[in-house]
Chain A
Amino acid sequence: MPYLPDTLPFPAPDMDAAEFWAHCRERRLMFQACGDCGTAQHPPLPVCPACQSTNRVWVPAPAEARVFSYTFAHHASHPAVRDRLPYNVAVIAFPALPGVKLISNVIDAAPSALAVGADVELAWDAGPDGLWLPRFRLLT
């Protein structure tokens, strides 16, 4: 069973973000970077924030990842999560890709086990519309 129901809303990504999700469908977590200066960027943009180049490339997410911040949601702000409370939402940072943070979930973390700075690893999980979602699990 996925960490959160696959009936959660998935607003259609815009054209600039479509490739991120195309990679996810193949279970590849890739971030956008600049083909000229190398600066990584998330969410995807058509222009490099550092040098304004329009030469966009995709680079694999580094394996090393950690929790930058997190919350446990105890209130159902959408009906689809009513029977999944509490669940966590975490901001995942990649030390090797400064500037990139990803909203995700840590699928195996009890409230007492999650902490800012905790090391995590990628764990693909089923999402809406046949998507694979990049979720994470605690590294022990």
Chain B
Amino acid sequence: MTASRDRAVIVGIGESPYARWGGIADRSQFALACEAILNAAADAGLPPSAIDGFASYSDDANDPARLMVALGIDQLRFASMVWGGGGGGSCGALAHAAAAVESGQATAVAVFRGLCQGQSFRFGQYHAWSPDAAFTAPFGLFAPAQMFALLARRHMHLHGTTSEQFAEVALVCRDNARRNPRAVMHGRPLSLEDHQASRMIADPLRLFDCCLESDGAAAVIVTTAERARDLKTRPVHVLAARQGSSKGWGSGMLGGHNMPDEIYATGNARVMAGELYGRAGVTPEEIDVAQLYDAFTATVIFSLEDFGFCGVGEGGPFAADGNLRWPDGRLPVNTAGGNLSEAYIHGFNLVVEGVRQLRGQSTSQVADARLCLVSGGGSVTPTSAAILGV
């Protein structure tokens, strides 16, 4: 693929080890973030001091003020944070970085997410997510599993979606994790029977419908196609990356659930998806592999519909028909195991895996993958997504 020399590309990827929450206790969350960024710079063949921008999301605690000193940054030119908690901003942060390098504000931006839930707090426990929490907490609506359960139940009511169809997403992710030694759930096979026998968390979502809670960090380095010529890796083009939220969505799933009725049981990404494909100049049919944000199995079903891989209401049958399976499905998803089975790095590990696919380096490599869609956490404001290509 050729693109204008001014367009954004990803030239480096880096990760820390991933572990169950609380599993990394011998070094700080900040140390993990540094490790991931340093690994990404080394992968790119870029001296860390040449990084001149940082972008993150979800109120990441590893702020540029400390990072620039620890990494020996020569001159900081860009620092940004995407609004909103959870993983909604993963590709939004990538979009910030792309905008920064394409507009000349910075030359090499590290986009990252680093979290040790054992050192901070567990996202699965009560937390006052939004100013609307007064309208949810007194009624016992505390945790993302419960919030997404309300959307999942509505989807089942409208479209006949079943728990077994949700389960297929969990089984696909676990199967991919089987081939990925970095995955927290590597070597832990999962069957449909295991899923159906797992304890109910928030009806209809069972334990294995829920993502992991993890410690770890992941990062990529974004620069321009022009500058990438001097670096050692094959650049992966950011064909499109953007944020979005549909009219009236508001804090939606995290707040009082006052999203418009007709899009309530969605990932809040339909309009943004159309704009994303338009910007990239590609169609859903051309996407070879996708990394779809999987805080819960149901969120992948919503994304399949939002991003046009199937019709509205068809996400459950589309999954159950084997379309998400590696290597022969129409659209292999979450090929490193995703948030469900690799690690819950708020979906930044999905961005990293998207790059690996286009480099031909995935442990579940899709043959001749040229286009990968990555989505950020859905049903929030803003959600985000990106289309990467080679």
Contact = CB atoms under 8 A, between A and B. Distances in A.
A binds B: yes
Interface of A: 4, 8-14, 17, 21, 42-43, 49, 68-75, 77-78, 81, 84, 86-87, 89, 91, 93, 98-105, 111, 116-117, 127-128, 131, 133, 135
Interface of B: 124-126, 128, 131-143, 145-146, 149-151, 153-154, 157, 199-205, 248, 255-258, 260-261, 264-265
Contacts of B258: 42-43, 99-101
B134 A8 contact: no
Interface of A is mostly: loop
Given A17-B134, A21-B134, A74 B154 contact: no
Contact of A81 (B140, B145, B204): B140
A87 B151 CA distance: 17
A69 B150 contact: yes
A103 B142 contact: no
Closest 3 CB pairs of A and B: A71-B149, A77-B143, A77-B142
Nearest to B155: A69
A12 B203 contact: no
Contacts of A91: 150, 154, 257
Contact of B142 (A17, A78, A99, A102): A78
Given A71-B205, A98-B261, 7 more contacts: A9-B133, A17-B134, A43-B258, A75-B201, A77-B145, A81-B140, A116-B157
Contact of A73 (B138, B202, B256): B202
Nearest to B122: A77
A21 B138 CA distance: 12
B203 A71 contact: yes
Nearest to A17: B134
A86 B260 CA distance: 28
A10 B134 contact: yes
Given A4-B140, A9-B128, A103 B157 contact: no
